[in-house]
Amino acid sequence: MRSTGCSGHLLGEILQVRGYALEDGLYYWDGKSDEELSRGELLIMDCLRRNGPVVHHVEIAEAFVGSELSFASLHQTLSHSPLFDRIATGLYKLRGQQVTREALERAKAAAGRIPVDPETDYDTKGNVTVSATLGVVAVGLGVISSEQFPNLAGIWNCFVNGRRLGTVDATDKKFRRLKRPLERLGCRAGDRLKFRFNTWDRSVTIEKVEHTHAT
């Protein structure tokens, strides 16, 4: 890795503290290798180069989903790498780098690339139907959240295409444990789903209602 300029000097100091060696203007690691973590760091560094000095978790998630790395390695990299600093909820930067208000606002705006756009309907049979659009993080983590979700807190037996598929854990703002249902439905970011909660038998049926993939 070659670095130039002020930000490159800062990065160089961080790399040397971490144990990287400098030779002929290039930094290299000659110690024990953790390949997945280092590739995760490089992926986040590339995300910062492309988007600016501050990036939103959604932007990093998009980078990981589009790579060969597992989505779980995203959390591992952010949790254990000394290169990055979380400066607010969902916002990350290179540790030690100064950022502007404009950079912060740009990164915050990136969180709304694919709005959840929830809709809730009730019927006289005791069903509560919630429609919502999946973002990258929802697909990666199996968790979808919105301040506008109804309070359906509890564990619900989950059905997809007429078959039982584990349970869904709902809170007043989130639906969790959706990884298996989303995989069974072949979901991608931009898909809109319908969650039909039957309050009598504590079950939820999940289905796709349309395809609106983001570009």
Percent of the chain having pLDDT more than 90? Answer: 53
Task: Choose one of 87, 112, 137: the last residue of a domain.
Answer: 112
Domain assignment present for 185: yes
Query: What is the distance, to the nearest Å, from the Cα of residue 19 to the centroid of all Cα atoms in its chain?
Result: 29
Q: What is the pLDDT of residue 1?
A: 47
CATH of the domain at 169: 2.40.330.10
**With 0-12 CB in 10 A as exposed, 13-18 as middle and 19+ as buried, what is 79?**
exposed
Using the predicted structure, report yes or no on whether residue 208 has a pLDDT greater than 80: yes
Q: How far apart are CA 47 and CA 59, in angstroms?
A: 7
Q: Are residues 105 and 123 in the same domain?
A: no
Q: Which residues have a Cβ under 8 Å from the Cβ of 98 and sit 6 or more positions away?
A: 53
Q: Is the pLDDT of residue 175 over 50?
A: yes
The parent domain of residue 134 ranges over: 119-211
Strand 154-160 vs strand 203-211: parallel, antiparallel, or unpaired? parallel
Q: What is the pTM of this model?
A: 0.61
Q: How many structural domains comprise the chain? A: 2
Q: Tell me if 131 sits within 8 A of 139, measured CB to CB.
A: no
Whole-number percent of the chain with pLDDT over 70? 80
User: Of the spans 28-32, 151-155, 206-210, which averages the highest pLDDT?
Assistant: 151-155
Last-in-domain residue among 86, 112, 138: 112
Asked if residue 150 belongs to a domain, the reply is yes
- Nearest C-alpha neighbor of 59 from the set 70, 74, 76: 74
Which CATH number characterizes residue 85's domain?
Answer: 1.10.10
Tell me, what's the pLDDT at 17? 67
pLDDT of residue 89: 86
